[in-house]
Amino acid sequence: MELKLAQAQDVTFFSSSDARDHFSLRGAENVDFAPLGLDEDFTRSDKPRWFGTTHFGLMGKFEHRKHTGKIIKAWAKKYGNNNDYQLSCCVNNPFFNEEQMKGVLSNAVEGQRYTNINFLPHLQKNTEVNELLNAIDIDLTGLSGGEGWNLPAFNATCLGKWSVVLNATSHKDWATEKNSILLEPSGEMTAVDGVFFSKDADFNQGTFYTWTEDEAIAAMEKAEEKVGQINTEGQKLAEKFTYANTVDTILSRIFKD
């Protein structure tokens, strides 16, 4: 169904080359790739941060696809209740009601209370998101198993932070060994989660990539070695990927004939 919808358009733009290639390999000739960019609202701040504490961040809707619960569990296994480390999670999913949200968060920490895991409320403004991005040292959002770009991990990297990134899907368009802590996938898992992806539906079918807990923890430890160093290679992404370039890419394809 999704392939037929794409083929019915004059051109369909995807935010990752991976998505474009999946459709192209299945016969869609009218597909293209328009990469996203860094929103100008996000800028590096010199505001003092939590010195003496290594601060990890995790953003984005709580989802099976994004491995949200799995990431939190892995981090807690390694750093839980060690107050030399902090994990701030901004992972509210507006499609869950309050009780459902409490349930998935409780499951992620296996019913335990950790002194160094912070669950933040929904951030209403880009200025609030910018403060969080500047407060962290290491971003874990890149451990998602399937993305169209992954703005939180990308934004953090552009601001000179270090992101642990699964080397798959859209991440390959911007994350490299020079600007990220790359983790290779260990395999694939079904997209079916009983919430957003249902078996045999017309849309949202397929698989996502996954990783092992031990390898993810090893990547977190590798990222620790970078704390205190500005990710200058990551900052270069802000020059390469802009929304002006996104618009130019779209317009050049539309008017190429």
81 and 133, same structural domain?
A: yes
225 and 131, same structural domain?
A: yes
Query: pLDDT digits over 188-245, tens only?
Result: 999 888 888 888 877 788 899 999 999 999 999 999 999 999 999 999 999 999 999 9
168 and 227, same structural domain?
A: yes
Name the token pair of 33.
């790739």
Query: pLDDT digits over 234-256, tens only?
Result: 999 999 999 999 999 999 988 87
SS3 112: coil
Q: Are 144 and 65 in contact (CB under 8 A)?
A: yes
Structural domain boundaries, residue 30: 2-37+242-254
Total number of domains constituting the chain:
2
Query: pLDDT digits over 97-124, tens only?
Result: 999 999 999 999 999 999 999 999 999 9
Helix (H) / strand (E) element for 90: namely strand 85-90
Name the residue type at position 138: I
Residue 48 is predicted with a pLDDT of 67
210 and 96, same structural domain?
A: yes
CB atoms < 10 A from the CB of 236, how many? Answer: 14
247 and 125, same structural domain?
A: no
Q: Are 216 and 183 in contact (CB under 8 A)?
A: yes
99: domain CATH number is: 3.40.50.2000
Q: Is residue 47 part of a domain?
A: no
Q: Is residue 65 part of a domain?
A: yes
Contacts of 15 (CB under 8 A, 6+ apart): 33, 34, 35, 36, 148, 149, 170
- Nearest by Cα to 50 from 124, 125, 137, 119: 137
19 and 137, same structural domain?
A: no
HSE (CB half, 13 Å, CA atoms) of 250?
13
Q: Is residue 44 part of a domain?
A: no
The mean pLDDT value of the chain amounts to 94
- Nearest by Cα to 233 from 183, 174, 184, 182: 174
144 and 131, same structural domain?
A: yes
Instruction: Compute, in degrees rounded to 10, the torsion defined by CA atoms 78, 83, 85, 88.
Output: 100
Q: Is residue 48 part of a domain?
A: no
